[in-house]
Amino acid sequence: MKYGRILLKLSGESFMGNDSYGINYEAIRHFSEEIRSAVEMGVQVGVVIGGGNIFRGVKGAGAGFDRRQGDYMGMMATIINAMALETVLKEINITARTMTAMAIEGVGEKIYYQQAERYLRDGWVVIFGGGTGNPFFTTDSGAALRAVEINADLLLKGTRVDGVYTDDPEKNPNATQISHLSYTEAYERNLRVMDLTAFTLCQENGMKLCIYNANVKGNLKKILSGENIGTLLD
């Protein structure tokens, strides 16, 4: 086992599955099974999920909502996704706990890193909802923050492509995958692996980042076993 503690970042859109909106049970079941494979290896797992399948603050601002209020609405969407993941994890006998950036009694306890680490050491999956708890920050930034906060060995960003490419592989069939990059190289080549705030937070704190295709069954376990899946930044 190469990594003892990880933070997994999933997009809200990944929870839609083949649907155009909302939460798809089978999609969440897939990610739950992937997480279970990590837990069964003895890996401590934290999770951050976006909220784009329900509401995205930036999009709301474009439609006329105040950006600050829109971002708080987006944070609520991430908490709904966290609750959904917690429910399915428990269905497959994985102990999980939702912690939130803002106190919401009855839903999840307020994030405090020492308590989160206690849960992780006890083998619980900790799902961090609510982003950073502040407007103007993405859930990528929230994931980077939580990864650093819990002293994770690796931050994984699950996507629908196999890693970082020289160009957008969905638009350019000649784009090639890059297996390993330094943060400096990624910045100089303007490769948008995460938003700049998240990118900088990872770089300044020496947080390793893996971009990989989370839709492929078994990929998470392969990465944790040391296989070269996706793109590693350090």
Residue 52: is its pLDDT beyond 80?
A: yes
pLDDT band at 58 (very low <50, low <70, confident <90, very high): low
Residue 57: is its pLDDT beyond 80?
A: no
Instruction: Compute the average pLDDT of residues 78-94.
Output: 97
Residue 169 CA to residue 186 CA, distance in Å, equals 17
Architecture in CATH for domain 5-233? 3-Layer(aba) Sandwich (3.40)
pLDDT band at 95 (very low <50, low <70, confident <90, very high): very high
pLDDT at 60: 62
pLDDT at 101: 94
Residue 6 CA to residue 231 CA, distance in Å, equals 16
Encoded tokens for 79:
């908490």
Residue 212: is its pLDDT beyond 70?
A: yes
pLDDT at 61: 66
pLDDT in tens, 150-175: 999 999 999 988 888 887 777 888 88
Residue 185: is its pLDDT beyond 80?
A: yes
* Residues written for the chain: 234
Residue 146 CA to residue 137 CA, distance in Å, equals 13
Encoded tokens for 92:
């497959």
Residue 141: is its pLDDT beyond 70?
A: yes
Rounded to 5°, angle at Cα 109 from 27 and 61: 60
Instruction: Compute the average pLDDT of residues 207-224.
Output: 96
The rounded percent of the chain whose pLDDT value lies above 90 is 71
pLDDT at 140: 95
Domain coordinates in residue numbering, the chain: 5-233
Instruction: Compute the average pLDDT of residues 63-78.
Output: 88
Q: What is the mean pLDDT of the chain?
A: 92
* Ramachandran bin of 183, using left for φ above 0, alpha for ψ from -120 to 50, beta for the remaining angles: alpha
Instruction: Compute the average pLDDT of residues 189-195.
Output: 84
The rounded percent of the chain whose pLDDT value lies above 70 is 97
Residue 122: is its pLDDT beyond 90?
A: yes
Beta strands 209-213 and 231-233 are antiparallel
